[in-house]
Amino acid sequence: MSEKIKILIVEDEALIAKDIEFSLRQLDYHIVGIAFDGMTALDMIHSRLPDLVLLDIELNGDISGIDIAIVLNEKYSIPFIYLTSYADPCTIDMVKKTLPFGYILKPFSERELYGAIELAVYRLDEKKKTGFPAKEKIDDLCDTPLTDREYELLTGLFEGKSNQELAKDYFISVNTIKTHLKNIYSKMEVSNRHKALSKIFGLMKQ
């Protein structure tokens, strides 16, 4: 579970890259690679699937950090932190559209780097949770709280199961399922399963 975080460093200035690598090894992260240009970076992302990428924006060659960011978002959903020397409005405007998990201005200290990485890792964990809301959250959208059984069945409903499937999976008759759902709908003040589910989606999106 608590395996080392796999980090890829994308930075064209070798001195800075080595410096970061040294710091991070001290801090017990696992450095899966250092890419000095965009193409190498894309290769390494593909082959080594890091948990987090430290991404210099200004790279030599025709692939910029922003390009890599887009790939990380669209194709891999791997979070990244920008490293850059510039903070002019124009750059920031480009940068923020790619929703990085963090943004560090050079020159930075080891503690800044550590703070940003830990924050990103935590965010990543948050994101991974499946997230069916706790009973209390569901109860908040009901006029009267659900019973434990009702909550249990609701999780099944959320999986997309039909009444028959629910009956089979919970070892009760379809009629009983109908009764329970009837009561759930009434408590949630909705008229059918789809509205119940949208209401739950609403909770989860926040």
Partner DNA sequence: AAGACTTTCACACTTTGGGGTGATATTTGA
Partner DNA sequence: TCAAATATCACCCCAAAGTGTGAAAGTCTT
Examine residue 148 and tell whether it contacts DNA (CB under 7 A): yes
Which residue's CB is nearer to DNA, number 69 or number 193? 193
Which residue's CB is nearer to DNA, number 147 or number 155? 147
Examine residue 187 and tell whether it contacts DNA (CB under 7 A): no
Nearest to 13 by CA among 68, 54, 66, 70: 54
Kindly tell me which residue out of 173, 201, 202, 204 binds DNA, with binding defined by CB under 7 A.
173
Residue 43 contact, options a copy of itself, DNA, none, Cβ 5-8 Å cut-off depending on partner type:
none
Q: Which stretch binds DNA (CB under 7 A): 14-22, 67-75, 104-112, 166-174?
A: 166-174
The Cβ of residue 199 has, within 10 Å, a number of other Cβ atoms equal to 15
Amino acid at 28: D
Residue 75 corresponds to which tokens in the numbers above?
Answer: 């194709």
Which residue's CB is nearer to DNA, number 8 or number 154? 154
Chain residues binding a copy of itself by CB under 8 A are 77, 87-89, 92-93, 95-97, 99-100, 102-103, 105, 109, 111-112, 114-116, 118-119, 122-123, 126-127, 130-131, 158-162, 190, 192-199, 201, 204-206
**Three-state SS at 141:** coil
The angle at the Cα of 16, spanning 12 to 21, to the nearest 5 degrees, equals 105
CA-to-CA separations, 60 to 13, 36, 65, 114, 180, in angstroms, rounded: 9, 8, 10, 26, 63
d(CA 179, CA 3): 46
Which residue's CB is nearer to DNA, number 10 or number 177? 177
Residue 131 DSSP code:
-
Interacting residues toward DNA by CB under 7 A? 147-150, 162-164, 170, 172-173, 175-176, 178-182, 185, 191-194
